Amino acid sequence: MNIRARAPLRISFAGGGTDVPPFPEREGGLVLNATIDRYAYGLLRPRRDRQVRIESADLKLSVNYQVDDAPIFDGRLDLVKAAIRRLGDPGAPGYDIFLQSNAPPGSGLGSSSTVMVTLIGLLKEHHNLALTDYEVASLSHHIERIDMGMLGGMQDQYAATFGGFNFIEFGADRVIVNPLRVSADVVNELEHNMLLCYTGRTRRSDGVIEDQTARYEGGDTGTMAALRNQKELAVDMKNALVRRRPDEFGALLHQAWTQKRRMSPKIATDFIDEAYAAARRAGALGGKVTGAGGGGYMLFYCEFRRKHRVAEVLTKMGGEVTEFAFAAQGLTTWSMPHD
């Protein structure tokens, strides 16, 4: 049987950065996010020989090796190799794995971690592993951040696994995902009034997370205050959602961006600042960069009657504007007959 999997990408509203060590261990992190109708997809097709073949449509890379060979970490699909090393069975036959995402790495929508969650879903089903959602998310995080030493937070793996609107608490030794019961009217209103703008620039190794972490560990008062304010805003924005106050939520989004910018000077770029100011002039109540910063997607909440003007202004500046819908389901796997 062919095994298929998909997991949704996410947008983060507030609290991003408080899920990046050492902040959760020292002060506890709080993040408010939601998954959207953009996905990472995966296919696992069993083979009769001992070959493992991995192909990534996003990175335009493929690698082949024997099941019982130790994977070589050479910069070519190393994350996938690390997951197979941790979950694979050297005594079993091989398989082909194909991965594809709706957003490029560094987009700010959590695409790299969402691909990892999708991959764990494929391997879990293939090897008949009894893993809970918490275990899938934790394992995905461990492979990325611990095994492979990739800097970043914890929210993406949990958002992709659980799906929907979530208020997530990060502590020294545990994570608690609190699913939010957001009314259908409020979800519709958010979709009605929000848009995404791709800046055309992906965030790679520009040092945003390193700089933010160094400033926090060094006791930078601005960074420390901004991170703590992010936690408060995550609570306020969660309350606005569940109390059916979407316009208040939109205004708080502006405050969240104001605080996020204080966490590191690398978060905003000239284009991001100019696009944000132009969107506000055109009628956006609030907005923010959806990931660590430095590029990727920006999210805006607009007065609906002025939303088209915001889109026009951002498009003229070179942004790629799209609408989106929220996705209630997290990681999903299914099987189909071998083709």
Asked whether residue 166 is domain-assigned, the answer is yes
Q: Which helix (H) or strand (E) holds 297?
A: strand 297-302
**Alpha-carbon gap, residue 213 to 292, rounded angstroms:** 12
Structure tokens at 168: 């997530």
Residues 161 and 257 in one domain: no
Residues 176 and 208 in one domain: no
Residues 99 and 57 in one domain: yes
pLDDT tens track for 133-154? 999 999 999 999 999 988 889 9
Asked whether residue 329 is domain-assigned, the answer is no
Start-end of H helices in the chain: 23-27, 78-87, 111-126, 133-141, 155-162, 184-193, 208-217, 221-242, 246-263, 270-282, 304-316
pLDDT tens track for 8-59? 999 999 999 999 999 999 999 999 999 999 999 999 999 999 899 999 998 8
How many folded domains does the chain comprise? 2
pLDDT tens track for 295-329? 889 999 998 999 999 999 999 999 999 999 999 99
Residues 56 and 171 in one domain: yes
Residues 140 and 194 in one domain: no
Annotated active-site positions, please?
Answer: 156
Asked whether residue 132 is domain-assigned, the answer is yes
CATH number for the domain harbouring residue 206: 3.30.70.890
End residue of a domain, out of 181, 210, 245: 181
Asked whether residue 335 is domain-assigned, the answer is no
Domain that holds residue 21: 2-181
Residues 19 and 140 in one domain: yes
Asked whether residue 19 is domain-assigned, the answer is yes
